Structure 1
């Protein structure tokens, strides 16, 4: 059973409810777990109640170990993730229904209140594939009418739509301010969805605003390495897009999740997710994005034939999309993006000459404000130069990538540069240009030596 907005207040509550346990039942399990260790404790309902309602601090180390035993959680997670976020509270997808959408809203609100949950992924890769399959199969349910409360004001709704559409433009220059404003927009939109009165068209507009804001926020969290929070935002975006009956936007969110899966080492799951997403995609530019991300995953899997086909289809769909007005969420998709992803594909398939050519084309086409993409392109171009045994060119690209990444403040870009410095350039560490670059990087980076 999935909990409503009012019922989900604490991850421990959710974890109990998933198992159908009362507070008394959980206390009994804790006492049994203690006895197995030869210990005697006095766990009871009141103790569990205090934990769930934050009337006390975190449980003692012993009680946390017993809780991990009861819920089947690896004890190592306790040392890397603070209470209560190591609990397996949100480890399966919500259904695509009004109750599931409300549960997704609640999960996002909890995340906005606890922004430091970053150490574990909410869903396993297999669960992500299952969520994509459900999304492709289930038809959106029409909104059931106005909820109790005040009617949505048209002026406020128009302002929300306009603001959320403009906010991603702040991501390169003011990422934290962009996150703060997106959070405010999501809170306001969820509050309207949950308590205001509105008709069907207005409800779909509100869900679209929420989907776009959550999707934009997810990318910002992803860029900062906060993958758990990014996943929660993408999941809310998917539910909101589904409630809005916007299949292209939902497919775009799934393509983001697939990109994340590839980035985190799950390319097979990414291919499965994209296969489900492609079945519901309508706009050619949206299909192009899915195809290029499918190519990225296939390249990691060393499927050169599949990669080439996916890239060709992505180019074909992008050309078709130019005759149409692309949806706002994918309006950034361009030939430059196709080129950078193609370059990464050819690098993964050990074809550095094709990679360098694609990346050079992408760099020449990229608009100036896309600095995060430029930093990634430059890093990939350095890898292509190294594969071609041109160390000096790789050093030049890496230095430019470092300067660009520092300007964006995106952890994802900086991590790519650090890995290039510490791993890819390591075999050439004695060459003067590499030594000079490493010295320069130490001066510029504030997070320690490379």
Structure 2
């Protein structure tokens, strides 16, 4: 067996082992990707092993380390352990990661880092608040910078590729609407997000196809961010939202991209309101509303988010004001409605209003809105129906109608097994405990 041809003498034990086994780093990663594929994980970049081979190497993530050792064991025909390749010593200090602060990161570096695979599985990310949370959105107000997402010698776009990405984003939204953020759906969504990041990092086109790709990436960031939020992975959701904003700041020059960005910022504001970060939510919604030439339904989406945020900060006057604003915008909808905004109807605004009155600790004012929501929510959207039933159960319980609350929780119990949403599951368990007391 001839040794692999490396570009430099081996600097690490792993590099020497690969040379002995006749494997290039890309071959090692290709075998790792075969194992990742079998468990539904997205592939690593074929260059992912190079940082493990440097004179001052980084260590692979735990899953990648296990896969690499299994591949090396199979190739060597003998057990290869972490100590054999120097991975049993204390891990080196973590270098700065772009995804820790996407708003400040160089776009090409950020996209490349996302495309590597495992970074969104990190559990040591923290939720950002205050200026750190709102700065990426505030930067949007400066206006788009000159496009810098292209690289010389990169990939040229074609209609089939861009159309496939657009279709995948819509399919992901439909799956999430029907089943919630199931682990398989979320893994698929993160895989699409990472793969599209790789395409964006390599593309060298300008023009309509590039605009469509950038818009799809912003829409995808909003969708994947929402799914992570629904799964209770709040720091990861925030990083995905911020990455969409980072791209929009540099490349979102078309109106469709800017409108998609306003929706993404409004979803980030909803998360902030849910977490009780009221100042952040207000700031983000003010930024979203300042997007130029908003279609009426997009303006209504932002007002709908304002209704909920007002309830969370217990501002009854603002609830009434923004409800009226949302309904006024809905009444003037036109042909410019984006596909991702078609979900908003008067019934949806009713639901947000009822939820806001509930958060505002005025449950009696919430009852008529939430009752209508339960009556009108289609069984085709079990997560929406589950949310409506839980909202109403919470409301009638706070109104002192314990028997009715337990009846509604029985209905919720029938739905909970059809929906994968940590947000809904935690709410159901908390309400079940409260009504049993």
Q: 1:303 aligns to what?
A: 315
Q: Is the 8 A contact 2:127 2:238 kept in 1?
A: yes
Separation of aligned partners in 2, 1:287 and 1:58: 55
Say what the alpha-carbon RMSD is for the aligned residues: 2.9
Structure-2 change in CA distance of 1:126 and 1:374 (3 Å): farther
CA gap 1:308/1:367 in 2 versus in 1, 3 angstroms: same
**1:359 to 2:370 alignment:** yes
Q: Deviations over 1:361-413 (max 9, x none)?
A: 22223233222122121111012111221111100112222322321121111
Tell me, in whole angstroms, the C-alpha distance in 2 between the residues paired with 1:156 and 1:88. Answer: 29
Q: Distance in 1 between matches of 2:54 and 2:145?
A: 42
Q: 1:327 maps to which residue?
A: 338
The 5-angstrom pairing of residues 10-25 of structure 1 reads none
Which of 407, 410, 413 pairs up with 1:399? Answer: 410
Q: How does 1:29-428 map to 2 (within 5 A)?
A: 49-51=56-58, 56-57=86-87, 60=90, 90-95=99-104, 100-110=106-116, 112-142=117-147, 147-171=152-176, 172-173=178-179, 175-242=182-249, 243-245=251-253, 246-280=257-291, 282-321=294-333, 323-422=334-433, 424-426=434-436
Distance 1:304 1:59, change over 3 A: farther
The C-alpha deviation readout for 1:214-238, integer Å capped at 9, x for no partner, is 2222222211111122122212222
Does the residue aligned with 2:291 lie in a helix, a strand or coil? coil
Report the CA distance shift for 1:146/1:318 in structure 2 as closer, same or farther (over 3 A): same
Report the alpha carbon displacement of residue 119 of structure 1 after superposing the two structures with TM.
4.8
CA 1:146–1:412: 2 relative to 1, 3 Å:
same
TM-score (norm 2): 0.73
Give, in whole Å, the separation in 2 of the partners of 1:118 and 1:342. Answer: 34
- Relative distance call for 1:57 and 1:261 in structure 2 (3 A) is farther
Structure 2 residue matching 1:425: 3-state secondary structure: helix
5+ unaligned residues in a row in structure 1: which ranges? 1-45, 68-83, 430-450
Alpha-carbon displacement from aligned partner over 1:339-359 (angstroms, at most 9, x marks no partner): 111111111223222201001
* RCO higher in structure (CA 8 A, sep ≥6): 2
**CA distance in 1 between partners of 2:88 and 2:130 (Å):** 30
- In 2 relative to 1, CA 186–387 (structure 1 residues): closer, same or farther, beyond 3 Å? closer
- Please tell me whether the aligned partners of residues 203 and 244 of structure 1 are also in contact (alpha carbons under 8 angstroms): no
**Inter-CA distance 348–199: structure 2 relative to 1 (3 Å threshold):** closer
Closer/same/farther in 2, CA of residues 353 and 144 from structure 1, 3 Å limit? closer
Check whether the contact 1:343–1:358 (CA below 8 A) recurs between aligned residues: yes
Give yes or no for contact 1:288–1:313 (8 Å, CA) kept in 2: yes
Aligned residues: 355
Deviation at 1:162? 2.1
Q: Distance in 2 between matches of 1:115 and 1:144?
A: 22
Tell me what 2:48 maps to: none
